[in-house]
Amino acid sequence: MFLGLRTVIYPTSDVEQSKKWFALLLGIEPNFDEPFYVGFTVAGYELGLVPVGDGDGKALTYWGVADADVALERLVSAGAVVHSPVSEVGDGIRVASVLEPSGHELGVIENPHFDQAGVAGDSPGRGK
């Protein structure tokens, strides 16, 4: 079901400060920069920053899936509880999250633009 890690979201009380810090740390500017979300592409993956008001203050990891609806259904049938239903966040990208049995939030992301070939360390023939 999971195609691999895709995105880690860090909530922040100061998006501008965090954006500057990560830009300095990573040596790159964000590829997406809006007040509600700042995204950096790091070795083919997404590091995102969101205002704390958009979450509970905990980092959230999104796993890539081919179909967010199917993945959400499978997670729920395995005992997870829907935290955020499937929603489109723009450009055909769809996300959802659940609380898995130990209470941790787990996200899934259907991203038709994800470039597996752009992932650092990826090699031909590697399992997906």
- Residue 52 phi/psi, 5-degree rounding, is -55, -35
Q: Which residue has the higher pLDDT, 58 or 127?
A: 58
**pTM assigned to the model:** 0.81
Amino acid at 30: P
Task: Spell out the domains of the chain, with CATH numbers in brackets.
Answer: 4-116 (3.10.180.10)
Contact 46, 93 (CB under 8 A): no
84-97 residue pLDDT tens: 999 999 999 999 99
Identify the residue whose tokens are 């470039």. Answer: 115
Mean pLDDT over each residue of the chain, to the nearest integer: 89
User: In which order are the strands placed within the sheet that holds 4-12?
Assistant: 32-34, 37-42, 45-51, 4-12, 60-64, 105-110, 93-99, 81-90
pLDDT over threshold 70, residue 126: no
Q: Which residue has the higher pLDDT, 121 or 13?
A: 13
52-74 residue pLDDT tens: 875 567 899 999 999 999 999 99
